[in-house]
């Protein structure tokens, strides 16, 4: 039997509807959540991503404040802009679009974002809170979206065996922390993992986030497993994930497609984080 498709577009739409309701409720209390987007330079893909995020904000009633400094901006000037946004009471979330031009050091700039305005969840402060399982952590959007999809699919994580493939600070490490917090038994895999196929075959859930097409093949997935494909790889055949989709879908109980799976959730969870940041800052 072919796998049930976990439709990220449908789940993201439900999340946006929920967020719109929260924004309306905050509005009745005089609180208008605001997101500042910072797009440095003229990278076309980054420009599209930021435009879509601002459109998402408008759809649910979040105010957006866009800043587009030139690609030649100096490190200290971008740091000063971040400081201004930290101090602006209208701004509850700050999105510094990555990657940055080569002359800028993102590892120095990201920690300058106020922890409670870090809607990407990338500051060391939020990463540390997440690692400690603290509820006030703002969580990176893609891992938060993975958890939302698993919940929507009705996956019982408590006691489940989960293989996480990839150890990036954007997805692999935070999603492993979230799964542990949900009482899953997590095996965290990477490029040096021995006998990766055997680890995956023993897992109830496989989360693939390595950025390499065809990493997860059908022989690596046991019958009835749930497969979450975080990969987005551009190939001559179009956009594909990290999972060999059609053969794996014949074995899995449920699977996310690429595109249309995790991708829409990343944008939706940015809205969730912005509203959550507004609540944190207003004690609401």
The active-site residue out of 56, 97, 114, 204 is: 97
The active-site residue out of 53, 118, 173, 244 is: 53
Q: Which of 57, 51, 62 is nearest to 24 (CA)?
A: 62
Q: Report how far residue 226's alpha carbon sits from residue 240's, in angstroms, rounded to the nearest whole number.
A: 18
Q: Report how far residue 227's alpha carbon sits from residue 225's, in angstroms, rounded to the nearest whole number.
A: 6
Strand ordering across the sheet containing 185-189? 4-5, 254-255, 226-229, 205-208, 161-165, 185-189
173 in active site: no
**Phi, psi at residue 14, to the nearest 5°?**
-65, -40
60, 23 Cβ separation under 8 angstroms: yes
Q: Where are the alpha helices (DSSP H) in 28-69?
A: 44-60
The active-site residue out of 56, 114, 118, 120 is: 120
* Distance in Å from the first CA to the final CA of the chain: 47
103 in active site: no
Q: Which of 168, 117, 170 is nearest to 143 (CA)?
A: 170
Q: Report how far residue 40's alpha carbon sits from residue 82's, in angstroms, rounded to the nearest whole number.
A: 12
Close Cβ partners of 2 (under 8 Å, ≥ 6 residues apart): 249, 250
Q: Report how far residue 91's alpha carbon sits from residue 101's, in angstroms, rounded to the nearest whole number.
A: 24
7 in active site: no
Catalytic residues: 53, 97, 120
């Amino acid at each position: 039997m072919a796998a049930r498709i976990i439709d990220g577009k449908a789940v993201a739409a439900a999340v946006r509807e929920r967020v719109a309701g929260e924004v309306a409720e905050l509005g009745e209390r005089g609180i208008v959540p605001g997101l500042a987007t910072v797009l440095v330079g003229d990278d076309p893909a980054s420009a599209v991503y930021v435009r879509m995020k601002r459109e998402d904000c408008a759809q649910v009633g979040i105010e957006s404040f866009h800043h587009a400094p030139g690609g030649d901006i100096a490190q200290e000037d971008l740091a000063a802009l971040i400081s201004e946004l930290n101090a602006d009471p209208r701004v509850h979330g700050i999105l510094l679009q990555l990657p940055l031009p080569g002359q800028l050091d993102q590892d120095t700039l990201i920690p300058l974002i106020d922890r409670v305005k870090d809607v990407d969840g990338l500051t060391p402060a939020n990463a540390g809170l997440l690692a400690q399982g603290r509820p006030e952590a703002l969580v990176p959007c893609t891992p938060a979206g993975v958890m939302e999809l698993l919940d929507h699919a009705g996956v019982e994580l408590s006691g489940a065996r989960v293989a996480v493939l990839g150890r990036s600070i954007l997805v692999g490490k935070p999603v492993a922390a979230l799964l542990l917090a949900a009482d899953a038994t997590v095996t965290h895999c990477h490029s040096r993992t021995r006998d990766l196929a055997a680890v995956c075959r023993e897992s109830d859930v496989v989360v693939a986030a390595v950025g390499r097409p065809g990493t997860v093949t059908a022989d690596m997935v046991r019958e009835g497993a749930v497969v979450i494909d975080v990969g987005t790889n551009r190939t001559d055949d179009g956009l594909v994930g990290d999972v060999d989709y059609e053969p794996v879908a014949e074995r899995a109980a449920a699977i996310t497609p690429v595109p249309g799976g995790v991708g829409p959730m990343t944008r939706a969870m940015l809205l969730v984080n912005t509203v959550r940041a507004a609540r944190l800052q207003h004690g609401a």
